[in-house]
């Protein structure tokens, strides 16, 4: 869905109509907040610690082999049993935790290399014990878990995982562990088995044969289950009855047992209860399963002081799961001394508003930004407009998990499923001759816009690949896969029999180091508020605002190949100032008394400027609040406009009858200023009141009129 941001900013019905149509019209609206409450509510939003992170996403098995004695995982037999075949792209290749860790000092290998490249965090594929082989492939990727309470022997030992985390922490790096809460390896057989069977065809029945809806029992004593009453009858081979750990995972009634997802025709309940490519699907509605998954992963936090989880297949668990599971994980992290623990989930949706429901409604704290990936790769490749990229940034308002926290999704250009960043840009139309230049622009976009950038391993040495999944999981160490030896790379030659660790002059690697150093020197480029100044054709210009230092940065991207530079002229919030160039076409620029700043941006390049003067204080206008049904969702939209060109934040406060207290609905420091209400979270005919509070850089506040609303009139 593509839309005009300006239309969103002014959507609304007249306030008089809104109030007049509400029950209780004519009753005086409550007074807006004042005094200490006003000061508290009006604070600008904060950003999670992950906003300052630059994450390296690595598949441990494909990074570096530090101990060949664990290549077969202690299993006998050949590849079909132990899963090790370094010449087959679908099997273990020997990479392990020792190799990934290195000696913690050598910047040519291991974690010290990643630190030297400017990364501040590392996300590793699931390290848990795996079913080594399924069908014609092995579990080198980590998503076929059997033993969720220990490290897979192909990767090393529990002690070596602890050493890996300790080294990362000594280097000042965060560790994000990939976790799976949707499924285990494929162990359970189903009789008669087959495609997903809907609950309308075969409902769940308790031990007495009574039908029930699992969603009604997520917080209650769950009905007794027996295998003979399941939709398909589950069974295990005699030698597999105690294969999984913890022990509760061996209870076959802790799985949905409804058959395989048909991705061509599948309902939402099918996505949530079906077996993902045959993998045993957890019955996540059961409190014992939800608690078991909380307990086992909380223990990883307790033992290793992890900094966050990336949650695999988050789209495939029931709607209530994250509202119950995530608070338990966050509490375990706080108890372990990790107060800024991050949870970001994989929800493979390219429509931002649809994706936002997983944060806003389902309680998933954060997400991988698939919609951003789609438009950022398309923009860097050329065909996608700057407006599409601007629209995605403005849609952040839909993603509030916590009222005071500005959304900071994890952003990326490529990954282990869809392929390397270079491959993605080629898919979006980037030509071979311009691929390197466009890829460098893509990383500028990734690093300099809001979000926590994640770079897929191998991208930094120019890997392109020929597809996603297995085709995108090349070895960093010398490979035995013949076709990978001759594959084209961007910015460097095919690797042949060499090691990617010896590729030290790839322009991508150098650009990533430069961008990391730039963000370290100028934190506002990581956590500053975003103001979109221009989004015309191929040119996107944003200001990033440092609220504490009262400093403005301007970042301009140009994805056009047109001859000559793009001439940019925008109105900033910093008038009569000189500006220092941090990269691009010029070293200095100047803004006029009206704040207008003019400069040039080369084709397929980025220009960055920082104002030498602080943003001056300015009179704060009264915000104008409008409330209406959102045009693009089933939500109510509260939007506020504040005249003037100075940066402001807007806090939306709500009072819900019969309560007499004002509480924060959302805080926003990036225009358009918006907050959303879900009518389903209010009682029928419940009256609420809304107010918008603007706050300036100097701490001035101004309050809108109070607006009454009945979100759910019937």
**Looking at the annotation, which residues are catalytic?**
312, 346
Question: What's the number of CA atoms in the CB half-sphere (13 Å) around residue 124?
Answer: 27
- Tell me, rounded to whole angstroms, the distance of Cα 2 from its chain centroid: 21
By residue count, the chain amounts to 714
Helices and strands in the chain: count of H runs, count of E runs: 18, 33
Are 662 and 655 in contact by the 8 Å Cβ rule? The answer is yes
- CA torsion 164-166-168-173 (nearest 10°) is 140
Euclidean distance between CA atoms 686 and 440, whole angstroms: 52
SS3 468: coil
Euclidean distance between CA atoms 130 and 142, whole angstroms: 7
Euclidean distance between CA atoms 227 and 238, whole angstroms: 16
Phi, psi of 455 (to 5 degrees): -110, 130
Are 308 and 343 in contact by the 8 Å Cβ rule? The answer is yes
Tokens for 622, please give them.
Answer: 């009264």
Euclidean distance between CA atoms 38 and 436, whole angstroms: 51
Nearest to 462 by CA among 414, 486, 430, 494: 494
In 503-598, where does DSSP find H-type helix? 507-521, 524-527
Buried b (16+ CB within 10 A) or exposed e, 155-176: bbbeebbebbbebbeebebbbb
Tokens for 611, please give them.
Answer: 């104002």
Tokens for 221, please give them.
Answer: 């004593």
Q: Which positions ≥6 away from 153 have C-beta within 8 Å? A: 70, 73, 74, 75, 129
> Given CA atoms 412, 415, 417, 423 in this order, what sign does their dihedral have?
positive
Q: Can the peptide bond before residue 429 be classed as cis, meaning omega within 30 degrees of 0?
A: no
Phi, psi of 238 (to 5 degrees): -55, -35
Tokens for 497, please give them.
Answer: 């029999």
Helix axes 287-304, 321-335, angle to 10 degrees: 30
Q: Can the peptide bond before residue 659 be classed as cis, meaning omega within 30 degrees of 0?
A: no
Euclidean distance between CA atoms 665 and 400, whole angstroms: 9
Euclidean distance between CA atoms 63 and 99, whole angstroms: 7
Tokens for 203, please give them.
Answer: 């409902």
Helix, strand and coil in the chain, % to nearest 5: 30, 25, 45
Are 666 and 403 in contact by the 8 Å Cβ rule? The answer is yes
Q: Which positions ≥6 away from 402 have C-beta within 8 Å? A: none
Helix axes 287-304, 158-170, angle to 10 degrees: 60
Tokens for 250, please give them.
Answer: 């061996």
Are 446 and 413 in contact by the 8 Å Cβ rule? The answer is yes
Euclidean distance between CA atoms 438 and 260, whole angstroms: 40
The position carrying tokens 């509202």 is 323
What's 595's DSSP letter?
A: -
């Amino acid at each position: 869905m593509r839309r005009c941001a300006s239309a969103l900013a002014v959507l609304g019905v007249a306030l008089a109509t809104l109030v007049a149509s509400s029950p209780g019209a004519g009753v005086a609206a409550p007074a807006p907040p004042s005094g200490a409450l006003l000061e508290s509510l009006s604070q600008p939003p904060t950003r999670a610690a992950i906003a300052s992170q630059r994450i390296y996403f690595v598949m441990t098995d494909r990074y570096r082999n530090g101990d060949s004695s664990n290549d077969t995982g202690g299993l006998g037999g050949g590849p079909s049993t132990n899963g090790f075949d370094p010449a087959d792209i679908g099997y273990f290749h020997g990479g392990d935790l020792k190799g990934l860790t290195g000696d913690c000092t050598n910047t040519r290998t291991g974690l010290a290399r990643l630190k030297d490249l400017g990364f501040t965090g590392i996300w590793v594929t699931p390290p848990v014990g795996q079913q080594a082989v399924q069908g014609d492939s092995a579990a080198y990727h980590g998503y076929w878990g059997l033993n969720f309470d220990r490290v897979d022997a192909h990767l090393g030992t529990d002690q070596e995982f602890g050493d890996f985390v300790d080294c990362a922490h000594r280097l000042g790096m965060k560790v994000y562990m990939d976790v799976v809460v949707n499924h285990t390896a494929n162990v359970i057989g189903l009789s008669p088995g087959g495609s997903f069977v809907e609950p309308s065809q075969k409902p769940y029945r308790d031990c007495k044969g009574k039908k029930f809806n699992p969603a009604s029992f997520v917080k209650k004593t769950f009905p007794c289950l027996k295998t003979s009453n399941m939709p398909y009858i589950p069974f295990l081979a005699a030698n597999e009855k105690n294969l999984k750990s913890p022990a509760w995972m061996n209870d076959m009634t802790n799985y949905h047992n409804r058959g395989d997802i048909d991705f061509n025709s599948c309902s939402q309940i099918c996505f949530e209860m079906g077996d993902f490519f045959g993998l045993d699907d957890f019955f996540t509605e059961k409190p014992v399963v939800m608690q078991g998954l909380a307990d086992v992963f909380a223990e990883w936090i307790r033992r290793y002081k992890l900094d966050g989880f990336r949650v695999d297949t988050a789209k495939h668990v029931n709607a209530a799961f994250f509202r119950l599971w995530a608070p338990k994980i966050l509490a375990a992290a706080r108890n372990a001394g990790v107060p800024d623990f991050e949870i970001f989930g994989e929800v493979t949706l390219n429509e931002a508003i649809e994706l936002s429901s997983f944060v806003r409604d389902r309680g998933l704290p954060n997400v991988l930004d698939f919609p951003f990936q789609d438009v950022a790769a398309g923009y860097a490749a050329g065909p996608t407009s700057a407006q599409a990229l601007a629209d995605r940034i403005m849609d952040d308002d839909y993603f509030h998990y916590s009222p005071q926290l500005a959304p900071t999704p994890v952003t990326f250009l490529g990954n282990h499923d869809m392929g390397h960043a270079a491959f993605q840009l080629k898919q979006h139309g980037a030509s071979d001759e311009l691929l390197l230049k466009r890829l460098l622009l893509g990383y500028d976009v990734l690093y300099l816009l809001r979000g926590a950038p994640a770079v897929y391993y191998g991208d930094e040495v120019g890997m392109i690949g020929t597809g996603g999944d297995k085709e995108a999981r090349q070895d960093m160490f010398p490979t035995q896969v013949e076709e990978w030896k001759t594959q084209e790379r961007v910015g460097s030659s095919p690797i042949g029999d060499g090691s990617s660790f010896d590729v030290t002059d790839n322009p991508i690697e150098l650009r990533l180091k430069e961008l990391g150093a730039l963000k370290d020197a100028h934190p506002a480029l990581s956590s500053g508020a975003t103001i979109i100044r221009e989004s015309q054709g191929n040119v996107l210009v944003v200001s990033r605002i440092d609220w504490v230092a009262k400093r403005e940065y301007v970042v301009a991207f140009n994805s056009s190949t047109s001859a000559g530079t793009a001439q940019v002229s925008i109105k900033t919030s910093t008038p009569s100032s000189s500006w220092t160039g941090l990269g691009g076409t010029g070293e200095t620029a100047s803004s006029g008394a009206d704040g207008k700043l003019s400069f040039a941006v080369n084709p397929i390049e980025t220009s960055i400027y920082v104002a030498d003067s602080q943003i001056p204080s300015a009179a704060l206008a009264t915000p104008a609040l409008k409330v209406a049904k959102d045009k693009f969702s089933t939500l109510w939209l509260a939007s506020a406009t504040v005249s003037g060109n100075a940066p402001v934040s807007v806090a939306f406060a709500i009072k819900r009858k019969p309560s007499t207290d004002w509480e924060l609905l959302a805080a926003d420091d990036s225009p358009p200023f918006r907050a959303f209400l879900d009518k389903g979270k209010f009682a029928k005919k419940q009256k609420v009141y809304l107010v918008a509070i603007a706050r300036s850089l100097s701490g001035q506040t101004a309050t809108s009129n109070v607006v009454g609303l009945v979100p759910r009139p019937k």
